[in-house]
Structure 1
Amino acid sequence: MSEVQAKKVNKDRISALPDEVICHILSFLKTEDVVMTIFLSKRWKNIWASVRSLDFCDTGNPDTISFSRFIDNVLFFRDSTDIHKFRLHSISVEDFDRVCGWIGAAVRRNVAELNLSVNYYGGDEDHPQIFELPQSVFTCKTLRVLQLWSNFIVNAPASGCFPNLKSLYVHFDRPVNNSMEKLFSCCPVLEDLSIHGTHGRYGDEAVLNFTVSAPELKTLKVRWTTQNDYEKCNFLVVAPKLETFHLWLYPSTDCYLENVKSLVRVTIALQDHVADEDRLFSIRGTALLAVISSVRHLSLSAHCLKGCCLPVFDKLRRLELALYNCYYWELLKVLLRRSPRLEYLVLELKDFMCPGASSDHQWSTPDSVPICLLTHLKTVSIWGFKGKPDEMDAAKYLLMKGEILKKMTFFSEDLSRTKEEEVYKELSMCKWGSKTCQVKFYGDHQKDEVYSLFGLRSWI
């Protein structure tokens, strides 16, 4: 190879890209790595100053002084380009006034996405000092996305809060007061809200009451855990335009919804594995389902619900249901009976037995055939299928009574090809209600194909 040809092969194509493209590529790196590009060549000397994404994190960096000076220098030597994303995660900076200055600099540069986690433990890992969110954040007109990954003191102004904030993500651990609640009711144009939190240990309130009042909210996700039985948490949601609602609740937590007629998709996971001993659990769960009974798409994981208390889901088209050994099939039969327009059914068979629950979970034929099996149900998917007698009986029933069923699919990591053939042969011996139904199996040997078809299931 000649010298000319070698130069062509080794040509720096990245440096030949326009500044805008290079800045976009660098925006995916931590700011510390971005600044280091000044040593590549003269071409790269000043590019870092135009990158619109800044990412500062002192995790694993014990040198607080150098970390703080680095942020000061980056913000000082940047050009006048706006900052689109600003991420600051700090556990070592004690000077909160300095932190406020950094956040203020991002606000003055018209920040659109702000990602903050600010803690200072000062030698006490269980009691970090709590940072007060600067007033400039509340009044920032360009802010569209706000993520808070730690406890914050919130003193929101009486008016003019978050004029353009569309998305809010809050993750806080054992709040010492109800300060964070103020965030949930001062966002006039908020459309997407996620709340992750834990109540327990050093919390100074035995009962936490959160009100989420957002007139434009369309998507709400709540994942909440209480660590002790005597600590309670209540969520009141007032969101007339809410369309999607995902809820993961652990013991001693209640959620109340008002005026949610726009709901379309709901995920509910009530994770209390000893709830068969707690009547309140069943009451809370069934009351919540009654409020959202007009949804079209429901994902439900609540193994201790009493089926007789469930409402009628007269608009439900798709049901994704986790079935536990505690009440393995009764919940399914009741939901089929109370979902007359159901078209798509997805079952997740889970081997979990509640303490004190009966191990007898045989399938029993319903007294009458649910209307959905005769008129609407088109597809059935069963995950975690092992070919047990009760599972076979349930599958046979669905095949025999599903008069317009088009497909039944079984997913299992335990069935060999030989076992699949045996199961199919046994299913074929009964008279199917639909002559056009297709039965398919996806086992461990077809795992890649399963994931490519359906992706990772995130509803449980």
Structure 2
Amino acid sequence: MIGSPITPQGVIERKRGIGKVEVEVKNMQSDKDREEDMDRLSDLPDFVLLHIMKFMSMKHAVQTCVLSKRWKELWKRLTNLALHSSDFADLAHFSKFLSWVLSNRDSSISLHSLDLRRKGCIDHELLDMIMGYAVSHDVQQLAIEVNLNVKFGFKLHPSIFSCKSLTFLKLSIWAVPWMTELPSSLPLPALKSLHLEHVTLTAGEGDCAEPFSTCHVLNTLVLDRCNLHHGAKFLCICNSNLSSLTIGSTTQETPYKFVLSTPNLRSLSVMRDPIHQLSACDLSFLEQVNIDVEAYFNAHFQRTHLALISLLQVLADYVKTMILSSSTLKILNGLSTSGSMITQIPCFVQLKSLKLKMKSSSSISDEGVSRIVEYLLKKCPLAKVDVINCRE
């Protein structure tokens, strides 16, 4: 039997039918692929999922609990807590979230790290609660960057300064109107890295503060915008293990003196406005010095001159590699154009490498730079000189 003739309309309808089937097949394949993807994610062991969640903010990590039953309790076992206020509309929501997280997290699991950041002010009771929780759960790495609205004499949770598990501690605490006081001694036996900013260091007896001698394995120390308590005139950094030291500026008008007893110091960085004087007994192992200073106000210019010259004189017999910023060179150039004052710039007898970090906006001439370099290398003319052009 001969079938009906195939018309153009029939061909179109048949193609449409085939296309519909193909679309359905593709949709089925897409659904299957999605199911397989979900299965593959679910098949991952817990420690892998927890490792992935470590790179999320705490807010996003908690939100994974709605994905499935598998994820509902998983966040409670996190050992790295990133508590950042930028994820919340205001302080009230942030505070409520912090309290909820600490109350619902699995308290049987120790903490590896806790990172608290809040640009605006937070309540000191909340900060105390977080620090107490961290210490009670054997935290290893603790970073606190907050502003506090407190009364004079406020002191942080004392247990944080005798925590035996801490290997890394960063405290950047701007307290209004008073800076937060630290105890005169920091008995932190496992601490390897310490970063202090906007805090007041206190002296035990007399006029000398010496808070770091009980940190027996301390390797890295950063001090920025730190003050000494009233009456203290010296900050003694006494630590035989310390290898890297960074010194920033201070917010107090009366400068204090740094006394270094750090026989194994290998790297020293001095930043911003160096109004402090520095003395050291022995820097035989010092390899690298990075100086990036600037006189922010005309009234500080002479003081910065004197502090910079004093620093270079202490370092001249030891340093092998020196890095100078263009703003530092500008200050030295001011000395070199002042006649006899250039003789105060010391010669570096062991210098092997001099690196100049130049910004395009620096207002020092090539002639001025050459004059400074020539004087610094007077006793080591074979030292290598590198010019590094830096972005603003």
* Aligned amino acid, residue 374 of structure 2: K
Cα displacement (A) at 1:243:
0.4
CA–CA separation in structure 2 for the residues paired with 1:9 and 1:255: 66
1:62, CA displacement in angstroms? 6.4
Alignment of 1:84-95 (within 5 A): 84-90=112-118, 91-94=120-123
Q: Secondary structure at the match of 1:164?
A: coil
CA distance change for structure 1 residues 318 and 234 in 2, over 3 Å: closer, same or farther? same
- Note the alpha carbon deviations across 1:404-454, whole angstroms, 9 max, x for none: xxxxxxxxxxxxxxxxxxxxxxxxxxxxxxxxxxxxxxxxxxxxxxxxxxx
Opposite residue 94 of structure 1, the aligned amino acid is D
Structure 1 residue 51: Cα displacement: 1.1
Distance in 2 between the 1:338 and 1:330 partners?
Answer: 14
Counterpart for residue 63 of structure 2: 36
Distance apart, 1:63 and its partner CA: 5.2
- 2:224 is the alignment partner of 1:196: yes
CA distance in 1, matches of 2:212, 2:289: 20
| Correspondence for 2:368 | 327
Q: Is the 8 A contact 1:226 1:252 kept in 2?
A: no
Larger Rg: 2
TM-score, with length taken from structure 1: 0.64
Matches within 5 A, 1:111-126: 111-121=139-149
1:235 corresponds to which residue?
258
Counterpart CA distance in 1 for 2:189 and 2:229 is: 32
Distance, in Å, in 1 between the alignment partners of 2:299 and 2:368 is 10
Give the match for residue 345 of structure 1: 385
Does the 8 Å contact 1:300/1:321 carry over to 2?
yes
8 Å CA contact retained: 2:236, 2:258: yes
Read off the aligned partner of 2:140 and give its amino acid letter.
A
Unmatched tracts of structure 1, length 5 or more: 123-127, 349-382, 384-456
Q: CA deviation at 1:226?
A: 4.9
**Partner residue of 1:443?**
none
Distance in 2 (alpha carbons) for counterparts of 1:142 and 1:210: 26
Query: Once the 2 structures are TM-superposed, how far is the Cα of residue 24 of structure 1 from its aligned partner?
Result: 1.3
Q: CA RMSD in A?
A: 3.5
Q: Is the 8 A contact 1:172 1:196 kept in 2?
A: yes
Give the distance between the partners of 1:249 and 1:206, measured in 2 at CA.
Answer: 25
- Aligned letter for 1:114? L
1:77 to 86, 104, 110: 104
CA contact (8 A) 2:241 2:264 kept: yes
Tell me the distance in 2 between the aligned counterparts of 1:204 and 1:108. 29
1:313 partner amino acid: F
Q: Match of 1:259?
A: 282
Tell me, what secondary structure is at the counterpart of 1:232? Answer: coil
- Check conservation: 2:143, 2:171, Cα contact below 8 A: yes
2:29 match = 5
CA 1:15–1:223 in structure 2 vs 1: closer, same or farther (change >3 Å)?
farther
Q: What amino acid is the match of 1:221?
A: T
Identity score, percent: 26
2:194 corresponds to which residue? 168
- SS of aligned partner of 1:76: helix
Deviation, structure 1 residue 112: 0.5
Structure-2-length-normalised TM-score: 0.74
Q: CA deviation at 1:144?
A: 0.3
Distance 1:78 1:20 in 2: 16
1:142-174, CA deviations, whole angstroms, 9 ceiling, x for partnerless residues?
Answer: 1100000114322356xx81000000111117x
Deviations 1:190-242 (A, max 9, x none): 1001112177xxx9859864332222110011121558xx5324322221110
How far apart in 1 are the matches of 2:181 and 2:121? Answer: 18
CA shift for structure 1 position 111: 0.6
AA at the equivalent of 2:351: L
Match status 1:103 vs 2:131 = yes
Residue 155 of structure 2 aligns with an amino acid whose one-letter code is E
Q: Is the 8 A contact 1:154 1:182 kept in 2?
A: no
Pairwise mapping of residues 12-411 of structure 1 onto structure 2 (< 5 A)? 12=38, 13-58=40-85, 61=88, 64-79=91-106, 80-90=108-118, 91-94=120-123, 96=125, 98-121=126-149, 131-150=154-173, 151-155=179-183, 161-172=187-198, 175=200, 183-197=211-225, 209-226=234-251, 230-250=253-273, 252-272=275-295, 281-293=304-316, 294-301=318-325, 302=328, 303-305=330-332, 306=336, 307-321=342-356, 324-325=364-365, 327-342=368-383, 344-347=384-387, 383=389
What secondary structure is seen at the aligned counterpart in 2 of 1:304? helix
Q: Distance in 2 between matches of 1:139 and 1:259?
A: 30
Any conservation in 1 of the 2:184–2:202 contact (CA below 8 Å)?
Answer: no
For the 8 Å contact 1:267–1:300, the answer to whether it is kept is yes
**Is contact 1:237–1:258 with CA below 8 Å preserved after alignment?**
yes
